[in-house]
Amino acid sequence: MSTPPVSYERTGSASVLRICRPERRNAVDGETAQLLNEGFHRFEQDDDARVLILTGDDVAFCAGADLKALDTLEPTRAEGPLGITRLTASKPTIAAISGWCLAGGVELALWCDLRIATEGSTIGLFERRWGVPLIDGGTQRLPRLIGMGRALELILTGRAVEMDEALRIGLVNEVVPAGKHLERALELAEQLAGFPQETMLSDRRATIGGAGLTLEEGLRLEIVAAANVMETARRGAARFAGGEGRHGKFS
C-alpha cells in the first residue's frame, strides 16, 4: 500500500498538514492538491485546532507544481491549482520550511500567515526559468509582504534567495537551526493558542481584510471588529488590573 501524498496530524493545539512526496521534492500533483484541500477543511471544522502548520520534509518544503503532472492540476480551480491558495483560513497558519521552497511552494508559503525556515534553505520562483506563470497567489501576496520593488525583482529574475536575505527583507519571520523548523512552529502554535482567541482572531481578520482597503476604510473595519470583542477586552483588562501579566510576564 503506497503512502498518501499528504498527511494530517493533530499535535497539541495545532494541525500539521504535511506534503509527503520526497521522490518529487514534495511537488504537488492533482491528488496532492485535493488532499491539501481536504486537510484544510478538516482543520477549519475542528474547533480545538487553533493553528494550521504546513510543512514538507527536511530536504524540501515544496518544489511547486509537479511539472511532470501538470495535466492533473486545474488552473481555474476555485480553491487554487494547489488546492488551498485561493482560500482564506479563519485561524492562524504557519509554514515550517526546510530545504527547497520553490515556485508554487513559495506561493504555498506566502499563503501562510508566518514562515519559519531552517538555515541553509533556499526560496526561489524558479518557474521563471521554464515559462510557467505564478498562478497560486504569488503575484498578489509577495508585494504585500515585501514591497513592490523587491517582489518584482524576485518574480522577474526567479533568482534564489538565501535565508539571511529572506529574513532581512521579511520573506521569512524566523530562521532556525537545521531540523528545528517544525519544533519551532509547534512552539509558536501553542503560544498563539494560549491567547484569548476571540480578540486575536478579530485582529487577524481586520489585518487581512484591510490589506486592500484605503486607510480610512481599514480604520472603519478595525473599529467594527474591535467593537465586537469589547467584552473579552474588558475581562482581559480586569485580569491585568488584578496583577496578571505585569512586567511582560504571562502566566
Catalytic positions are 107, 127
Length in residues, the chain: 251
Query: Which grid coordinates are listed for 147?
Result: 514591497
Return phi, psi of residue 78, to 5°: -60, -35
Residue 127, burial from CB neighbour count under 10 angstroms (0-12, 13-18, 19+): buried
* CA max distance for the chain: 61
Distance CA 50, CA 92 (A): 7
Kindly give the pairing relationship between strand 122-124 and strand 114-118: unpaired
Return phi, psi of residue 66, to 5°: -75, 105
Contact 117, 163 (CB under 8 A): yes
Contact 12, 49 (CB under 8 A): no
Distance CA 163, CA 124 (A): 11
Residue 69, burial from CB neighbour count under 10 angstroms (0-12, 13-18, 19+): middle
Contact 83, 40 (CB under 8 A): yes
Distances (CA, A) of 46 to 11, 93, 133: 13, 14, 34
